Chains A and B, each alone.
Chain A
Amino acid sequence: MSDDNKLDFQQFRERVGDLRGKEYWRSLEELSRSEVFDEFFQSEFPQQALPLEKGVDRRDFVKLMGASVAMAGLTACRAPNETIIPYVNQPENLIPGRPLFFASAMPLGGYATGVLVESHMGRPTKIEGNPDHPSSLGASNSFQQASILGLYDPDRSQVVRRAGEISTWSEFVAALQPLLSAARTNGAGLRILTQTITSPSLGAQIQQMLTQYPGARWHQWEPVSGDNAREGARVAFGGYANVIYDFTKANVVVSLGSDFLSEGPAHLRYARDFSARRRVRQGDARPMNRLYAIEASPTNTGSVADHRFPVRPSEIESWARQVLAALGGAAAVPAADATPATPVAPQAMARDLAANRGASIVIAGEDQPPAVHALAHALNSALGNIGSTVLITDPVEVAPVNQLESIRQLVTDMNAGAVQTLVILGGNPAFDAPADFNFGGAYQKVPFRAHLSLYYDETSMLSHWHIPETHYLETWGDGRGHDGTVSIIQPLIAPLYNGRAASEVIGALVGGLDATPYQAVRNYWFGRGATEATWRQWLHDGLINGSALPARGATGAPPAVSTMDTVGAPQDGLELIIRHDPTIYDGRFANNAWLQELPKPNTKITWDNVMLMGPGTAEDLGFGGRERDPLVNERRTRMAELQHGNVRMELPVWVLPGHAEGAVTIFYGYGRRQGGEVATVKGPGFDTYPFRRSTTMHGGPGATVTMRSGSVYPIACTQEHQSIDPKIVGDRNIVRAATFAEYQTNPGFAHQGHHAEFELSDASMYPPFQYTGHAWAMAIDTTLCTGCNGCVAACVAENNISVVGKEEVVREREMHWLRIDRYFKGDPGNPEIYHQPVPCMQCENAPCEPVCPVAATSHSEEGLNDMTYNRCVGTRYCSNNCPYKVRRFNFFHYADYDTPALKPMRNPDVTVRTRGVMEKCTYCVQRINHARIEAAKQDRRVRDGEVVTACQQACPTQAIVFGDMNDPGSGVAQLKKEPTNYALLGELNTRPRTTYLATIRNPNPELAAAAAAGKAEAH
């Protein structure tokens, strides 16, 4: 018996072998129906065809927690008794100890971006971009990376609440019935409020509801709204439209206050396309593109611009108009407009644009007034870009509306008592609706208030009913990307906290159909011609091919811009700029500690929101360098009172070189009063929504700021900068840069002149160590880095990096293995800004190693600078002796061993570090080892591209390249040959494996000349 048993077993394993090849990208659906297995089991043991409708249910999940081997960190030498809890029925294809990848999509601001989710034994642990998805092309941003923590967040709401008391879903449904019957008769009084919705299935459900209740109304509100863009498009194209840009074709890009590289639904795609035209390589003749940024407060986009013009918000429009005028466009410059600081610039820009008709882009920022958007469109049409670099499609949203008007209407009706029932699906209007609407007050006039949300937040507090919402990794759904491409959102895990999807609530409203989200989505698409095969294909791919919206033909008539209302002339006094927070968005991520501790672009501030201003403005307010620098050394700053309209508030002041003078920027999203411990206690910050009134959604003129001399406020800033003399940075050749023109004449600039003294020196009293076999190395192209933080967040997620909290960051104990250094160069009013991601350099002559008394850090034969956590006694000598200061020490027990919810979140392939241990970047050695093992099993070398580090995988501009230096064909080996390739602090003879490609910018020669001339006059 044993023989034929073995025989069958052989076949069985072969089949597994066949399947394993397709392991990646596999959908749960496919998992559950793999004929091979069914047939196998049918034939062998007919009574055991295993039903598996869904993914891994919660019970399995709990078991798996027991089964997963690497749960927590370092333990004592005496082994505790452990139990192993296997499956009862093991899902086929799930190989214990090996991750599976599933395609899904993360919705943000309504738009869905495709992702791949890594799942360890049923536990989603890591998000990667989906290379097939048009909005990301495989990259991922910090929000996506941190959504893993959002999923497991123990602060998430876990029960249905009625007036704060614990209740049940069925009670809620029961409570709805009388109202619904009422609504059915007279129709009126039933309202729902949603955020922006692109989900076809949900949209259809809502439409069905509206037909069912004729009197019902649907309102939409999202604090980070596209209202201005919508209105701008309406002015320009006579109706709501969706605008898509193709940066691969653009030689010249003009950004009117737009941060297209790190904001908006398409920023990952745009960053990729934009960087494709800036990748300067040997023997690549393509010219570099050129970016002009006209903006008030520095953005990532502005920081990489070839020309950045810091102007007050109100001046942006006049700039646009001047350019347009210079192009002989439709609109003359209104006399009222002030002439901008450098009059030559607009003309030069215009000439540059004119020279690139059809190959240029003018893009306006979401925060810019409709007029600017319209002007941008006008410029694009004037330049003949529409149809080539600028594509117009129908709106992606199910029902595009002016959301400000929409919620204005809702509030009016609520105050008028016209609203009997309000069901809020997601969002937190009581916190983030325009302040002057007093949404909370009006809301409380509604007799029946229900709120669906991830957290029990400010709005939930005011609601009769609160229903916990499912995380996108927990439920079925769908959504569209920036170009309309549809993705099916499939769950990776059953709801952890009894959450409900929006579709379920609508289902309850419509009554009758109590379809699960799965059925809801499935039915919708099968209703539209999906078949079992296509459906599985969509899930597998993570998107519906060809579902992108078609581009409209170029609109004949150039947009009318003369007619529209303008912002008007710049006024005296400070202008206020109100922006959403770069890391916690509009406040919805306030409870996500990963995002809270992420250094905000350019300022490098964590856990707080501040009032940004330029050095000049600070000087005028009596907060110049002399007062400032000592404070900044100590991670502290002054408070100042900001007054705008009738709102006054004390905010910490932060001076950011390059911020437009005469303006201050504040960020909204902080100051949460409810909705999680992190949001309310650990990182409270300041609630600036009161400044955000329906008239001042993005700020406005007439702000006054007065310093509060007495009060000093601690700021968790990871990189002090005011006190750093740019000369020091120059002296040390940390950043090496040149213009494209200079590069063309002299590609080796990074190793000449002053740089020459700072080259790698091979001088050593010892013979060099020979690295046969693999030699892992990394090259980072600083030209391409936009400082978007995607890599940092990815590193945190991949390597179980602990969050330390604001106090510890203030004490300079942040734990990020990868940091993005930011350097300023030149005039503090308008400096050049450089980003430099700094992971461990993996020095071949690592200074950290010889000083370790216990060999806790040593070199692997592949040249990795290994860090053996369990051997470390914590002398910190290695960190002291590291010239790059990339080592991180667990001064306290930072890792959370206790919270059960967080344990399954961790990457089982990476040890969770304990107190008193040094840690650092290891080039994601767990990924290297996995690849090496797989390769070794097939008796071959690891191929180039087989090992992708977490940071590399996330990077939208592909600035980070990792691979085997000894493999001449590898990408990294190529980059190391580039003339711009240089080693940071190479003269220390550390022989770093991580090297940098010098920054190359492409300024307009005409303007450069003008600037030189200006200087000449000055002297």
Chain B
Amino acid sequence: MATPKDTTPVQEIRPTTQELRIPERFIPTPTIEPGHNFATITDHISSIVLRRKTPVGWFIGLLIAMGGVGLLSVSISYLVGKGVGIWGINHPVGWGMDIINFVWWIGIGHAGTLISAILLLLRQDWRTSINRFAEAMTLFAVASAGLYPALHTGRPWYDYWLFPYPNTMGLWPQFRSPLMWDVFAVSTYATVSLLFWYVGLIPDLATLRDRARNLWIKRVYGMFAMGWRGSARHWHRYEHAYLLLAGLSTPLVLSVHTIVSFDFAVAQIPGWHATFFPPYFVAGAVFAGFAMVLTLAIPARKFFRLEDFITMKHLENMGKILLATGLIVVYAYAMEWFYGWYSGNPFEIYMLKNRSTGPYMSMYAALWICNGLAPQLMWFKRFRTSTFWLFVVAMFVNVGMWLERFVIIPASLHRDFLPSSWGMYHGTFWDWSMFIGSIGLFFALLFLFVRILPMISIFEMRTLLPEAQAHTEEEGAH
């Protein structure tokens, strides 16, 4: 039988916009630049993964990240060997950068699922080109976050006591504790995000399986593709499952940071004990998450020439989201003052006084600048549409969200009820080394991801093309 190999190079097929019959609304800021078809999309994205030669920049980046991982492992060994005393924590400040970083990472870990799930339900098809990337980021952020609760305990080798299992002590976890809620929320979130991400990957893994030339690489991708063959029935169930997952992830993603906020809201320390923490934290998480997506997407699209797929439309939308969530966060900051004043409670009032004029006032001021002022630039289109300014603002927000957690955790603890036990908190070398290390871990994973997996969902990109539209007669009729 004749089997002519399809060797048509990418450049040859470049129909014009007219030929592609691209709807008007796409022209100004399209989610995908004109001139693409199934083949070009497929080849471009998969080639990033499959091309033989790895760019030098990637190696350099991975090397630096791996340095961070090294630092992390040193810090962890020293921590387990010596005790949490190597950190700056003390009485009264029992939680320092360990929990700050945990909350910070978890917050960042929200964008992915949010983009994938909620924007999917909202039929925001511009999400398509960034969701894969964001989901990966989520997973790696949650991985970094997970380090801290596990290692912040005084005796980490007994952490397994937090899991309910029948034991010779006849003891069980104490489920009234928000930390137990954390255990379940974070592990569920990690698992579901992983599944969601993997399900999204299956058809693309099949694509890579078919594109790869080396048999073993084919087999590896083939193994994870689980023999996906694009059957119509499979596609149907697949989309159904994906939609259900999205539906499940949406409340999940909201619950996770709600529960993280309970760690504080349930306690009665002034500055923690506030009923509006859940929405406040969730908004903060989205805020932080999108900032991190921008921080990563802007360099990535440049480096891998993905401007065609991650267009200015995406960046601008994310800028708008930054602005929206940023305003919610600022509202929360304002409410803290209102509640403090309205309660007339001396402890609350002093807590606010101490935040704004106490030893950590500089932190609090910086927090307002980063999370309050910087995002306001997003009101203006010329900032929203400038990758430089977007990146700058995103960086401000990243820092700001870390400061927010600092202000909430140590700055509330260090002066609580009895002045006799007031104290100060300062991060030590090991606090910072562990933080930097976790960032290293995050980026190391990210670098590996972009090298071995498609950072943009290929099959979903295909559906964005007008050719993807097909109609049965009945539909065609009217």
- Report if A871 contacts B (CB, 8 A): yes
- Report if B15 contacts A (CB, 8 A): no
- Report if A720 contacts B (CB, 8 A): yes
Determine if A850 and B176 form an interchain contact, defined as CB atoms under 8 angstroms apart.
yes
B264–chain A nearest beta-carbon distance, Å: 9
Determine if B85 and A853 form an interchain contact, defined as CB atoms under 8 angstroms apart.
no
- Report if A889 contacts B (CB, 8 A): yes
A700-708, A724-732, A736-744: which lies at the interface: A724-732
A10-18, A136-144, A876-884: which lies at the interface: A876-884
Determine if B154 and A850 form an interchain contact, defined as CB atoms under 8 angstroms apart.
no
A873-B417 contact in complex given A879-B91, A880-B267, C-beta closer than 8 Å: no
Which of A724, A729, A823, A916 is within 8 Å of B84, CB to CB?
A: A916
A172-180, A641-649, A811-819: which lies at the interface: A811-819
Determine if A851 and B154 form an interchain contact, defined as CB atoms under 8 angstroms apart.
no
A854: chain B residues at CB < 8 Å are 161-162, 171, 173-174
Determine if B153 and A875 form an interchain contact, defined as CB atoms under 8 angstroms apart.
yes
- Report if B92 contacts A (CB, 8 A): yes
- Report if A204 contacts B (CB, 8 A): no
A80–chain B nearest beta-carbon distance, Å: 18
Determine if A881 and B268 form an interchain contact, defined as CB atoms under 8 angstroms apart.
yes
Determine if B418 and A892 form an interchain contact, defined as CB atoms under 8 angstroms apart.
no
Look across to chain B and name the residue whose beta carbon is closest to the beta carbon of A893: B83
Determine if A724 and B416 form an interchain contact, defined as CB atoms under 8 angstroms apart.
no
Among A855-903, those with CB < 8 Å from B are: 855, 858, 871-877, 879-881, 883-885, 887-893
A891-B89 contact in complex given A720-B422, A852-B177, A915-B155, C-beta closer than 8 Å: yes
- Report if A548 contacts B (CB, 8 A): no
Which of A853, A884, A890 is within 8 Å of B173, CB to CB?
A: A853
Interface hub of B91, B159, B263, B266 (most chain A Cβ within 10 A): B91
Determine if A881 and B269 form an interchain contact, defined as CB atoms under 8 angstroms apart.
yes
A838-B418 contact in complex given A732-B346, A854-B162, A872-B155, C-beta closer than 8 Å: yes
**What does the 1/0 interface line of B379-414 toward A look like (CB < 8 Å)?**
000000000000000000000000000000000010
B419: chain A residues at CB < 8 Å are 724, 728-729, 732, 734, 823
Which of B82, B154, B418, B423 is within 8 Å of A873, CB to CB?
A: B154
- Report if A821 contacts B (CB, 8 A): yes
Determine if B91 and A888 form an interchain contact, defined as CB atoms under 8 angstroms apart.
yes
Determine if B177 and A988 form an interchain contact, defined as CB atoms under 8 angstroms apart.
no
Roughly how many angstroms separate A872 CA and B174 CA in the complex, as a whole number? Answer: 12
- Report if A558 contacts B (CB, 8 A): no
Look across to chain B and name the residue whose beta carbon is closest to the beta carbon of A804: B85
- Report if A350 contacts B (CB, 8 A): no
**What does the 1/0 interface line of B354-368 toward A look like (CB < 8 Å)?**
000001000000000
- Looking at chain B's contact residues, the main secondary structure is loop
A823-B85 contact in complex given A852-B174, A880-B269, A917-B154, C-beta closer than 8 Å: no
Determine if B418 and A821 form an interchain contact, defined as CB atoms under 8 angstroms apart.
yes
**What does the 1/0 interface line of A831-854 toward B look like (CB < 8 Å)?**
000001010000000010011111
A852: chain B residues at CB < 8 Å are 174, 177
A875-B171 contact in complex given A880-B267, A883-B416, C-beta closer than 8 Å: no
A36–chain B nearest beta-carbon distance, Å: 45
- Report if A504 contacts B (CB, 8 A): no
- Report if A634 contacts B (CB, 8 A): yes
Which of A724, A853, A885, A888 is within 8 Å of B177, CB to CB?
A: A853
Interface hub of A633, A836, A875, A888 (most chain B Cβ within 10 A): A875
Roughly how many angstroms separate A871 CA and B90 CA in the complex, as a whole number? Answer: 21
Determine if A812 and B159 form an interchain contact, defined as CB atoms under 8 angstroms apart.
no
**What does the 1/0 interface line of A797-836 toward B look like (CB < 8 Å)?**
0000000000010011110000101110000000000001
B94–chain A nearest beta-carbon distance, Å: 3
- Report if A719 contacts B (CB, 8 A): yes
B84: chain A residues at CB < 8 Å are 874, 891, 916
Roughly how many angstroms separate A288 CA and B141 CA in the complex, as a whole number? Answer: 67
B121-129, B178-186, B438-446: which lies at the interface: B178-186
Roughly how many angstroms separate A289 CA and B424 CA in the complex, as a whole number? Answer: 42
The 5 closest A-B pairs by CB, nearest first: A874-B154, A916-B154, A891-B85, A876-B94, A885-B421
A884-B421, A917-B155 known; 16 new pairs, CB 8 Å cut-off, are A719-B420, A814-B91, A821-B418, A838-B420, A851-B266, A853-B174, A872-B154, A873-B155, A873-B159, A873-B162, A881-B268, A885-B418, A915-B83, A916-B83, A918-B154, A985-B417
Which residues of A does B touch, CB under 8 Å?
630, 633-635, 719-720, 724, 728-729, 731-732, 734, 808, 811-814, 819, 821-823, 836, 838, 847, 850-855, 858, 871-877, 879-881, 883-885, 887-893, 914-918, 984-985, 988
